[in-house]
Structure 1
Amino acid sequence: MAHDEHLRSLFAAELPRLYAFAYQVAGERETAYDFLLHLARELRDSGLDGEGAPRDVLVGMLARSLEKNLGRKADQTFKILDSILRSDVTRPVDMEAEGIDGDPDRIPVFLWELKRTCLTAVLGCLPPSVRLSFILTDLLGYAPAQAAILLGIRESAFRVRLTRARKRIEDYLTPRCQHVDSGNACSCEGRLGIALEAHFVVAPPHTLDIPDTPHDADPDYRDMATLYGRLPPVVLEREDIDGVLAAFDQEPASRRAQGL
């Protein structure tokens, strides 16, 4: 029982980092949350699966689950992403759009959410295995050798994925995104109306992860790791944290059936 309590405390402390990681890979809050529930049950039933620092083992377990369950194909293509956001001229924001509801103070919230959604969608144009390499190394800070161990693959294979990820992200964003070069045509202000109409961006469930500063307050970032590293991580609400921990606390069906 003491071991379970120690693992539970570790898991609870790492949930913010794990949730942000799962969101970056899966691209959706709800999907990221579902992966946390799956991880909670896996920990409950089998404990930590791997060697090394416990917090890194947790990342490795989640990373392998994401790669296995998200499949081999990208969520979408860069061409599809362009067709959503760049298929029309800049248009004004509909102030009566759902979530804005005539309140101009909601615009900064949606601009931040669009910035985060769009950059995350770019990652979604990469196959999950390639996506994971960029996130583990350039965003979470793992060396390629260590990240390869977390995924259970050879370092040489991991480096091939990482090189591919960096090149494709840079090639797509450098000539388009205002946050890479303020002279680029694709700006969040100009595309928000289109994104709202296409339901590409929706109202966030809360504003706990929306900064007080303007979405474009940062200077241009031509380094992709820095650009993504500056994005505010998504945050779990207290009730969602409690839900994940409840999944960890629930007895396995086999034990309940045996009356243990």
Structure 2
Amino acid sequence: MADQYQPPFADAESETAVVARAAAGDEEALEEVVRHLQDPLYRLALRMVNRPADAEDATQEILLKALAALGTWRAEARLLTWAYRIGVNHLLNLRRQSPQEAAGLSFDEFRDGLADGLATADHTGPEASVLATEVRLTCTQAMLQCLGRQERVAFVLGEVFELSSTEAAWVLDVTPAAYRKRLERARTRIRGFMDRTCGLVNPEAFCRCSRRVDTAVRRGRVDPRRPALARHPVTPGGRSVQQAEDQMIRLHTAAAVLRSHPDYAAPRARTDAVRQVLESGRFPLVE
């Protein structure tokens, strides 16, 4: 199951009807569109900017842009795919950077960092499993930041969200052939790094999530009291942390490890803020 769960419209016809009503200002239809888009857009933003707080800000901005442009949607793609295009354009041009992106972190530097402070035994304790999961989730987030934005978004769309090359190329406004080349470069870099580094992909590789816990806690990368990702709320009906991990264990590939985040839900405070803007009566909907 791809990392793009969203409450579906019944069919293309109902999607078109709901969007038409929303673009005309129907509050119930606008609410349905927000519900359909908010969580997938948050997951897209989170994979691109890494930090939940920055992803929350970006999601709010993307949602407002998408809602303002609803009147221009002509069903040339599914509504969510169309919204991904708006989101990708926003995220590629975002001035804010994650710490790893700002530092220009390379895969070699990241690998050296993982080797530094690796314990000789697994972390133990009542929260050992949760903290090992938190390390894995934060590690794969940081790993994506070693890719440039263009390669990162190509990888996220194709390997994490499992869009077809035609859909992903449309989102990025490039030819399918150009997209496939970009995706293959990202795949090659990710696979090479993980095969040399990650014990989840290659049992002979040195790194183990459970042996990174103590160092991650000591360096402030994981908060043992409030694991940000391992206990992040998920979309109702979407994959839980355990379900995503079970899927990863069955597949045991680099793509599966990167894909195996739960179906995170956008924080309600942010989506409530979007609803408040809509209810203000001052929000411009393109007719």
Using the size of structure 2 for normalisation, the TM-score is 0.73
Gap regions ≥5 residues in structure 2: 1-19, 235-239
Q: What's 2:111 paired with?
A: 82
Q: What's 1:18 paired with?
A: 41
CA distance in 2, matches of 1:201, 1:216: 22
CA deviation map 1:20-45 (0-9, x unaligned): 12111221111111111111221343
Q: What's 2:269 paired with?
A: 239
CA distance in 2, matches of 1:24, 1:214: 16
Relative to structure 2, which stretch is displaced further, 64-73 or 141-150? 64-73
Gap regions ≥5 residues in structure 1: 96-103, 256-260
CA 1:114–1:244: 2 relative to 1, 3 Å: farther
Offset of residue 217 of structure 1: 9.0
CA 1:170–1:93: 2 relative to 1, 3 Å: closer
Q: 1:55-134 to 2 correspondence within 5 Å? A: 55-69=80-94, 75=101, 76-90=105-119, 104-134=125-155
CA 1:71–1:167: 2 relative to 1, 3 Å: farther
How many residues of Structure 1 are paired with residues of Structure 2 in the alignment? 247
Relative to structure 2, which stretch is displaced further, 246-255 or 138-147? 246-255
CA distance in 2, matches of 1:39, 1:214: 26
CA distance in 1, matches of 2:135, 2:111: 14
Q: Which amino acid aligns with 1:17?
A: P
Q: Which amino acid aligns with 2:87?
A: L
Q: What's 2:194 paired with?
A: 173
CA deviation map 1:120-146 (0-9, x unaligned): 211110001101111111221222122
CA distance in 2, matches of 1:142, 1:9: 23
CA distance in 1, matches of 2:244, 2:60: 33
Q: What's 1:196 paired with?
A: 217
CA 1:113–1:11: 2 relative to 1, 3 Å: same
Q: Which amino acid aligns with 1:153?
A: V
Q: What's 2:260 paired with?
A: 230
Q: 1:43-58 to 2 correspondence within 5 Å? A: 43-47=66-70, 51-58=76-83
CA 1:25–1:9: 2 relative to 1, 3 Å: same
Using the size of structure 1 for normalisation, the TM-score is 0.80
CA distance in 2, matches of 1:112, 1:94: 12
8 Å CA contact 1:109–1:207 kept in 2: the answer is: no
8 Å CA contact 2:119–2:211 kept in 1: the answer is: yes
CA distance in 1, matches of 2:59, 2:274: 7
CA 1:214–1:146: 2 relative to 1, 3 Å: closer
Q: What's 2:60 paired with?
A: 37
8 Å CA contact 2:155–2:187 kept in 1: the answer is: yes
Offset of residue 208 of structure 1: 3.1
8 Å CA contact 2:49–2:97 kept in 1: the answer is: no
8 Å CA contact 2:45–2:55 kept in 1: the answer is: yes
Q: 1:212-227 to 2 correspondence within 5 Å? A: 212=242, 219=249, 221-227=251-257
